[in-house]
């Protein structure tokens, strides 16, 4: 018998049989070691806020949080998830360009540490809501800086963007603070981009963000209780990419933080991380249903595809690049053949891997897409062809835990309704009167 993929000593065959496929499998040890590595090597004043957006599973968050990660949330459900995972409101920040009135109200009622405000319109609304509650709302300003720094997969700053308020607009306003008496301006946030794999770029970003924060705080006359330097640290997915070297990152960034931290002894310094914390812990596991050939090329058709893992399509690059993939039930067999690994959707785009080197694939094999713990099902069209959300399994302390049940047909149909004649008529009459 050949070797199989294991997580903390539990074999993939057993996990797939117990929970079915397709599924997402997370290694709790890996989640912990990601937080530990950052805490060990990066500046002691730096606090790590987990961006739930990258993986909103409450089980995943609970492991990260137990290790000291705090929470950065961007929706009502993410806020509630963080609270139920036991994150203290004082360790939650709420961010996002389109916050609803309900979300802003919940931020104030829950007492989150900071609302990261992204527009003048939002600021006016926060001021109004805080007045209604007889309180002052803690607000950090998200700045869209005039500069941008190379080295990010997706640039978020230094361009026309829906995120944050342009640096120039903030410097052009002299009475911003006076016009919002119910807002306690307490900090600055800047997020430069995602998938950053250059230690140099992180250091340069950080330096420029600190400089901007000081300048803006001086101009507006506000304190800096919080400076959030964003994050966007990447992981290597594709050939030719290299993982960040944490020791090197520390050597570059820590001296920058040192200077600022000394000058601002009371300021909370925050880094936001999504992908960096969760990507390497996760494997997307599918079972091969059929193998076939078409015009001389081999296809392995599996029970899950881009409906659960849109990132594997390789959007954003001209050539399709593959995530690392393995036949999990025979990991020691040499990869001698070229395979397209596809899913159950009726579109040619449903391709998890194109011309992947794999051992000979057979029906029933388990194929894994590695490094898939970030932006998986939550960032995929899980309802396409009505297959629904996959199961999620977390192995923690040597035990497997089902941390999300897969959707079944009833789950998918629960929110749909046959047209109801009576209800339709009532609405029409209501409008007419």
Which residue numbers are catalytic?
346
End-to-end CA distance of the chain: give it in Å, rounded: 75
Cα(358)–Cα(341) distance, rounded to whole angstroms? 10
Q: How many residues bind ligand PLP (CB under 6 A)?
A: 15
Stretch that binds ligand PLP, among 177-185, 269-277, 362-370, 377-385 (CB under 6 A): 269-277
Cα(277)–Cα(257) distance, rounded to whole angstroms? 21
Stretch that binds ligand PLP, among 20-28, 32-40, 51-59, 339-347 (CB under 6 A): 51-59
E strand segments, 165-281: 165-166, 183-189, 193-194, 226-231, 268-273
Position among 144, 194, 267, 281 found at the interface with ligand PLP (CB under 6 A): 194
User: Between 154 and 172, whose beta carbon lies closer to ligand PLP?
Assistant: 154
Cα(383)–Cα(283) distance, rounded to whole angstroms? 20
Name the maximum alpha-carbon separation found in the chain: 75
Of 224, 40, 63, 41, the residue nearest 50 (C-alpha): 63
Position among 34, 43, 53, 354 found at the interface with ligand PLP (CB under 6 A): 53
User: Between 22 and 164, whose beta carbon lies closer to ligand PLP?
Assistant: 164
Stretch that binds ligand PLP, among 218-226, 244-252, 271-279, 291-299 (CB under 6 A): 271-279
Closest chain position to ligand PLP (CB): 274
Position among 19, 48, 129, 191 found at the interface with ligand PLP (CB under 6 A): 191
Q: Does 51 bind ligand PLP (CB under 6 A)?
A: yes
- Cα–Cα distances (Å) from 111 to 66, 90, 183, 187, in that order, read 21, 7, 14, 16
User: Between 105 and 379, whose beta carbon lies closer to ligand PLP?
Assistant: 379
Interacting residues of 226 by C-beta distance below 8 A, sequence separation 6+ = 93, 113, 114, 140, 186, 187, 188, 189, 267, 268, 270
Binding to ligand PLP, residues 214-243 (CB under 6 A)? 230-232
Q: Does 276 bind ligand PLP (CB under 6 A)?
A: yes
Binding to ligand PLP, residues 77-116 (CB under 6 A)? 95
- Contact (CB, 8 A) for 250 and 323: no
Q: Does 371 bind ligand PLP (CB under 6 A)?
A: no
Q: Which residues bind ligand PLP (CB under 6 A)?
A: 51, 53-54, 95, 191, 194, 230-232, 272-276, 374
């Amino acid at each position: 018998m050949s070797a199989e993929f294991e997580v903390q000593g539990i074999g993939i065959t057993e996990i797939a049989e117990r929970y079915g496929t397709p599924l997402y499998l997370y290694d709790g040890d890996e989640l912990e070691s990601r937080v530990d590595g950052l805490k060990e090597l990066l500046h002691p004043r730096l606090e790590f806020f987990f961006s739930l957006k990258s993986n909103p599973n409450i089980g995943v968050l609970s492991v990260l949080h137990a290790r000291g990660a705090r929470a950065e949330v961007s929706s009502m459900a993410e806020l509630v998830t963080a609270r139920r995972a036991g994150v203290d409101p004082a360790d939650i920040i709420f961010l996002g360009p389109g916050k609803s009135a309900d979300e802003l109200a919940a931020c104030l009622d829950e007492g989150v540490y900071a609302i990261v405000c992204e527009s003048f319109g939002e600021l006016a609304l926060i001021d109004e809501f805080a007045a209604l509650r007889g309180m002052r709302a803690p607000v950090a300003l998200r700045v869209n800086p005039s500069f941008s720094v190379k080295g990010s997969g997706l640039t978020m700053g230094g361009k026309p963007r829906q995120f944050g308020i342009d640096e120039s607009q903030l410097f052009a306003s002299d009475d911003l603070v006076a016009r919002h008496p119910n807002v306690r301006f307490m900090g600055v946030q800047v997020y430069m981009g995602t998938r950053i794999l250059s230690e140099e770029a992180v250091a340069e970003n950080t330096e420029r963000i600190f400089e901007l924060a000081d300048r803006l705080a001086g101009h507006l006359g506000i304190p800096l209780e919080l400076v959030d330097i964003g994050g966007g640290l990447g992981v290597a997915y594709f050939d030719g990419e290299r993982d960040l070297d944490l020791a090197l990152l520390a050597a570059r960034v820590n001296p920058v933080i040192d200077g600022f931290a000394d000058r601002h002894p009371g300021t909370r310094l925050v880094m936001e991380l999504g992908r960096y914390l969760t990507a390497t812990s996760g494997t997307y596991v599918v079972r091969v249903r059929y193998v076939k050939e078409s015009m001389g090329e081999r296809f392995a058709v599996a029970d899950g595809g881009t409906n659960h893992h849109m990132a594997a399509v390789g959007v954003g690059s001209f050539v399709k690049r593959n995530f690392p993939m393995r036949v999990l039930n025979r990991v020691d067999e040499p990869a001698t053949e070229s395979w397209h690994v596809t899913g159950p959707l009726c579109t040619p785009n449903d391709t998890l891997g194109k011309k992947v080197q794999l051992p000979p694939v057979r029906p029933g094999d388990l194929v894994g897409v590695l490094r898939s713990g970030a932006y998986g099902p939550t960032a995929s069209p899980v309802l396409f062809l009505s297959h629904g959300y996959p199961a999620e399994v977390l192995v923690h302390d040597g035990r497997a835990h089902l941390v999300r049940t897969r959707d079944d047909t009833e789950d998918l149909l629960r929110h749909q309704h046959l047209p109801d004649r009576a209800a339709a008529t009532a609405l029409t009459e209501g409008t007419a009167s």
